[in-house]
Chain A
Amino acid sequence: MKRNVAIIGGGQTFHAARRHDVDQAEMVNEAVRAALNDARMTMDEIDLVILGNMEFFEGTHMTDCWLVHGTGAYGKQGLKITTGGTVGATAVVTAAHHVASGLFPRVLCIGFEKQEEGDTGAILSGVAHPLWGRSLAGAAVGYFAMMGSSYMAAWGATEEHSAMVAVKARQNARKNKYAHLKLDIGIEDVLNSRMLSWPIRMLDMCPASNGACAMILADEKTAKARCKKPVWIRAMDTAHNEQFELDWRDVKTTRPIFSRTCAKRIYRKLGVQKPSEYFDVFEVYEPATWSELVWYEDLGLCAPGEGFRLIEKGVTEIGGAIPVNPSGGVLSTNCIGASAMLRVWEAALQIRGDAGEHQVPKDVRRALTTAYGGTNWTVMTALSRTLDD
């Protein structure tokens, strides 16, 4: 990038299914104050505020207008972002672009969702094509069921493999004090959980969470002057798909291109040959267990068809060679507008060495994050501890 951009602070709320103690502005404000405290900044020092959430997922519209007292955006420049599950990462990337433009040295970006307050499934069915899909649509589970069904048929994986992903996520979440589903479960618990849409069971899916995340991005001058542990954004990339290419008909051939296209481009920007060696930790957006296995393959952490072997061998555990989602990931916490930002913030915490109990037990210099949402697209960010990395 022509101008370097750093994450100089961030914060998140505790995530839960119920937040009856706060309204939406009060909940968002918790994350904003945590981020300002972490960056040792005041709201006066922020040049631009970017707010992200999914319209109507909490029954409200135009949240950038009426959450102003919670976001601190009064009188400031700003933008509202709504891009599906990618919202939080799009907000980070938009913030980074604004900093990199040289026009806004200090940018606050926020992602939130108070999912219990709206009907996410109903609004999601509005994403389906009005002519071809809406009369058939039923929210997100079916999509991942198609993925899992195709994955098993193509590669010979079993439902035990997806259950391993479910267990890893919730056991990691138990080490993350902010996570929503901190479940002490084993493979049998997953296999015995209620079948939703074969092969997706209740514990194969993410929860509906309430929560918010906020981050402060700054230019190199501010970062070096004000922050002891800046985390640098080294590359960003976004790739889209066409809606009807999304069908998971055959996991080997007819499948979405967005994840591999995006990974290829971001690796080229950084000169990455072996991503599993180049990056020390990954935070991926996995709304369902099967999508984590597909991420392993599409990110090139293993060959196609070998994703389920990685989970089988424990390679992606916190203490494994390629740690993936030490935070517990989206399977443990899904406040949609914040989820993709949480990937970036959790990766930044790993690089700072501030992740606490779920800190990866090795030197973390570089991290890669992904987002996943809407009509099948992704936003990726690559982070590093120093500008030499």
Chain B
Amino acid sequence: MEEKHTTDTFEVDQRLTAHGTYWAGKMGTRFYTALRDQQKILGTPCTTCNKVFWPPRSICTFCFSELKDVVEIGPRGTVETFTLVTYTEPIHPRTAPFLYAVIKLDGADTGMAHFLDEVEIDKVHIGMRVQPVFAKDRKGNILDIQYFKPI
């Protein structure tokens, strides 16, 4: 028997818009205040584990201690790994090509991803020394560090 196909199919467009805010909390507030007002980058040391966290946090991931102190770290750091993004999607924060690098700041034990810019793509390598470029108009978010660039 011949199968019957219909050309009448329906779809309903779905769009959800949900606004959110996130309170930076004890450590996040100290971090962004120092970054915005003094162009300083803070980490949190855990004296039990002998580690310094970047980004900072109030509780040690490893030993569950409450962390209350902060130390200045960086601003210079080292590229631990990187990638070159060569495709573009609407969700991307930048248009390709652009570079992401995980950067371990001097004095920190953890690395964090950020943009790498003002660099010749062919010369990027693991172990490359970098420094932050701070935004002129700092608002208290992670883009107050615009990107890192080679020293």
Contact of A74 among B24, B28, B58, B61 (CB under 8 A): B61
- Can you show 9 pairs from A to B with CB atoms below 8 A apart? A20-B23, A22-B26, A23-B26, A23-B58, A42-B64, A70-B59, A117-B20, A131-B12, A135-B12
CA A58 to CA B58, docked complex, whole Å: 20
Is B87 engaged at the interface, CB distance under 8 Å to the other chain?
no
CA A126 to CA B60, docked complex, whole Å: 36
Is B151 engaged at the interface, CB distance under 8 Å to the other chain?
no
Q: Do B18 and A59 have beta carbons less than 8 Å apart?
A: yes
Within 8 A of B (CB), among A31-75: 42-43, 56, 58-60, 68-70, 72, 74
With contacts A69-B60, A130-B14 taken as known, whether A23 is within 8 angstroms of B20 at the C-beta atoms is no
**Binding site secondary structure of chain B:** loop
Contact of A59 among B14, B22, B27, B57 (CB under 8 A): B22
Q: Do A119 and B25 have beta carbons less than 8 Å apart?
A: no
Within 8 A of A (CB), among B1-38: 12, 14, 16-28
Q: Write the chain A residue with the least CB distance to B23.
A: A20
Q: Do B20 and A26 have beta carbons less than 8 Å apart?
A: no
| 17 new A-B contacts at CB < 8 Å, known A25-B57, A59-B21, A118-B20 | A23-B22, A23-B28, A26-B26, A42-B64, A56-B18, A59-B19, A59-B20, A69-B58, A69-B60, A72-B59, A72-B64, A117-B20, A119-B20, A122-B19, A123-B18, A130-B14, A134-B14
Contact of A117 among B21, B59, B61 (CB under 8 A): B21
Contact of B59 among A29, A58, A126 (CB under 8 A): A29
Is A19 engaged at the interface, CB distance under 8 Å to the other chain?
yes
Within 8 A of B (CB), among A108-167: 114, 116-119, 122-123, 125-126, 130-131, 134-135
Q: Do B18 and A119 have beta carbons less than 8 Å apart?
A: yes
Q: Do A23 and B25 have beta carbons less than 8 Å apart?
A: yes
Q: Write the chain A residue with the least CB distance to B26.
A: A26
Q: Write the chain A residue with the least CB distance to B58.
A: A26
Within 8 A of B (CB), among A5-29: 19-27, 29
Q: Write the chain A residue with the least CB distance to B19.
A: A119
Q: Write the chain A residue with the least CB distance to B60.
A: A69
What count of chain A residues pass the 8 Å CB interface test? 34
Shortest Cβ distance from residue A63 to the other chain B in the assembled complex, whole angstroms: 12
What count of chain B residues pass the 8 Å CB interface test? 22
- Nearest 9 interchain pairs by C-beta: A59-B20, A23-B25, A122-B18, A119-B18, A69-B61, A69-B59, A43-B64, A26-B25, A118-B20
Work out how many contacts link A and B, with CB atoms closer than 8 A: 82
Shortest Cβ distance from residue A236 to the other chain B in the assembled complex, whole angstroms: 29
- Chain A residue numbers with a CB within 8 Å of B59 are 25-26, 29, 69-70, 72
Which B residues lie at the A interface, using CB under 8 A?
A: 12, 14, 16-28, 57-62, 64
CA A123 to CA B17, docked complex, whole Å: 8
- Chain B residue numbers with a CB within 8 Å of A116 are 21
CA A72 to CA B62, docked complex, whole Å: 8
With contacts A117-B20, A122-B17, A131-B12 taken as known, whether A22 is within 8 angstroms of B60 at the C-beta atoms is no
- Chain B residue numbers with a CB within 8 Å of A19 are 23
Shortest Cβ distance from residue B117 to the other chain A in the assembled complex, whole angstroms: 26
Q: Do A130 and B21 have beta carbons less than 8 Å apart?
A: no
Q: Do B21 and A126 have beta carbons less than 8 Å apart?
A: no
Within 8 A of B (CB), among A82-131: 114, 116-119, 122-123, 125-126, 130-131
Q: Write the chain A residue with the least CB distance to B62.
A: A74
With contacts A131-B12, A134-B14 taken as known, whether A21 is within 8 angstroms of B61 at the C-beta atoms is no
- Chain B residue numbers with a CB within 8 Å of A119 are 17-20
With contacts A21-B26, A23-B23, A25-B25 taken as known, whether A68 is within 8 angstroms of B61 at the C-beta atoms is yes
Contact of B58 among A29, A56, A125 (CB under 8 A): A29
Q: Do B25 and A21 have beta carbons less than 8 Å apart?
A: yes
CA A29 to CA B12, docked complex, whole Å: 42
- Chain B residue numbers with a CB within 8 Å of A60 are 20, 22
Shortest Cβ distance from residue B44 to the other chain A in the assembled complex, whole angstroms: 10
- Chain A residue numbers with a CB within 8 Å of B20 are 56, 58-60, 117-119
Q: Do B16 and A125 have beta carbons less than 8 Å apart?
A: yes
Q: Do B23 and A126 have beta carbons less than 8 Å apart?
A: no
Shortest Cβ distance from residue A48 to the other chain B in the assembled complex, whole angstroms: 16
- Chain B residue numbers with a CB within 8 Å of A25 are 25, 57-59
